Amino acid sequence: MASIRKLRIGITCYPSVGGSGILASALGENLARLGHEVHFIGYERPFRLPPDSAHLRFHPVVINDYDLFKYPDYTLPLSVKMAQVSREFRLDVLHVHYAVPHATAAILAREMLPAKRQPKVVTTLHGTDTTLLGQDPGYGPAIRHALNRSDAVTAVSAFLKNETHRLLDFHGPIEIIHNFFEPRPPQRSRKSVRRELGLRADEALILHSSNLRPLKRIDLLLETVARVRSATPFKLLILAGGDFAPFAKDVRRLGLEDRVVVRENVNTIEDYLQAADLALITSDTESFCLSILEAMFFKCPSVATNVGGIPEVTQDGITGLLTPAGDVKALTRAVESLLTDPARRTALGQRAQSRAQAKFSPGIIVPRYVALYREVCSRTR
């Protein structure tokens, strides 16, 4: 029987700390491991992307700052680079994460190439491109056009799929392919990490990991921690994918200087995930919430707001606790209930890990992307 041809895939994502870049990097790494040829195209190397190898390469986009333009343009240089890489390496698929500006650039790149050499365009929606930019009259029509011109559109949750149909008036098919996570072995022991964080043996560690954008509600996170009253002492570790300095005054105002520990732009998150006892997510909205999933793989249950795609990741009372959005009292009570009940924490954590492995592991999710690539490549335009 003839072997199945390996695919040649171009991937573009935002390289900064955030769920879309993390997912895209992990997807590319797994595809390369399967023998597919993967080419990342962008203005900067994604922060979790491994070094170039026989099956994985990064192609930087050079952005020129011409005096003619008031603001530097990224979409056109990106599209030219996409076309160049597609032509040189005969790409089958351009898989873009976020519609703006990546899908627009991919569609323009496709049009630069002869019909027989045009790669298929797969667009994955991660959230903000629908829930924020989709409602902006300066972006909405362009996003809708990009989705209509894509060969396939995916969303990371059913919530995001429904919001895209509702907010963008987009009537095309959207395939739900959830995020996944593949934990790497921690580089340090749980004991050594907790010692670094200044934790005593009897202290619990609450973990929050995010890019600190306004919708993550860091103000609510700190207010919740300040209100917690528990016989079990604890510290809050914030893994910040950005500058935490703007929140330092809130830490001082709430008297949390001895309770909050911050680590910025951490790459080896597994070291800290294994040391955590509880994750705390206070977002106003989430399309999926990769931070919860990362904690689940390490038997760490979450207290989180019951918003967006979060209920598709964690189950209330089974793998974690969900509270109404913005309800600081409910968040406080949930945190206190788990801090004082380690047996329940353990039970929730074990079920969380089982759910993560069964539904959100690379072995489950990556083959769905490969099947989608092959399906779109089999179509005639």
Assign 3-class secondary structure to 271-295.
HHHCCCCEEEECCCCCCCCHHHHHH
Residue range 345-349: mean pLDDT, rounded:
98
On the CB side of 90, how many CA atoms lie within 13 Å of its CA?
Answer: 4
The 3-state DSSP class for residue 324 equals coil
pLDDT for res 138: 65
User: Mean per-residue pLDDT for 266-291?
Assistant: 94
Name the band, by pLDDT with cuts 50, 70 and 90, for residue 131: low
pLDDT grade, residue 18 (50/70/90)?
Answer: low
The rounded mean pLDDT for the chain is 92
Please report the pLDDT score of residue 33 as a whole number: 95
pLDDT score of 16: 73
Judging by beta carbons within 10 Å of its beta carbon (0-12, 13-18, 19+), is residue 191 exposed, middle or buried?
exposed
Which of the residue ranges 60-64, 299-303, 370-374, 377-381 would you say has the lowest mean pLDDT? 377-381
Please report which helix (H) or strand (E) contains residue 225, including its range: helix 218-227
* Angstrom distance (rounded) from CA 257 to CA 249: 10
pLDDT of amino acid 22:
86
Question: Half-sphere exposure (CA, 13 Å, Cβ side) for 314?
Answer: 35
Answer whether residue 368 shows pLDDT above 80: yes
What's the confidence (pLDDT) of residue 228? 98
- Whether the pLDDT of residue 128 is over 80: the answer is no
Per-residue pLDDT tens over the stretch 71-121? 678 899 999 999 999 999 999 999 999 888 899 999 999 999 999 999 999
Instruction: Give me the pLDDT at residue 190, please.
Output: 96
Contact 207, 272 (CB under 8 A): yes
Give the residue-averaged pLDDT of 293-319. Answer: 98
Q: What is the pLDDT of residue 142?
A: 83
Q: Which pLDDT does position 127 carry in this prediction?
A: 81
pLDDT of residue 1: 40
Q: How far apart are CA 357 and CA 352, in angstroms?
A: 9
pLDDT at 244: 96
Helix, strand or coil for residue 40? strand
If you write DSSP's letter for every residue of 162-177 in order, what string do you get? HHHHHHH---S--EE-
Task: Take residue 99 and report the two structure tokens written for it.
Answer: 């519609």
Per-residue confidence (pLDDT) for residue 282, from 0 to 100: 98
70 has pLDDT over 70: no
pLDDT band with cut points at 50, 70 and 90 for residue 48:
confident
More confident residue, 302 or 15: 302
CB atoms within 10 A of CB 340: 14
58 or 265, greater pLDDT: 58
Domain annotation for the chain: domains and CATH numbers = 8-180+362-377 (3.40.50.2000), 190-359 (3.40.50.2000)
Contact indicator for 122, 91 with CB cutoff of 8 Å: no
Q: pLDDT for 216-259, tens place per residue? A: 999 999 999 999 999 999 999 999 988 999 999 999 999 999 99
140 or 147: which leads in pLDDT: 147
Tokens of 209: 């990991």
For residue 34, pLDDT over 50 is answered with yes
Kind of pairing between the strands at 56-60 and 8-12: unpaired
For residue 255, the SS3 value is: coil
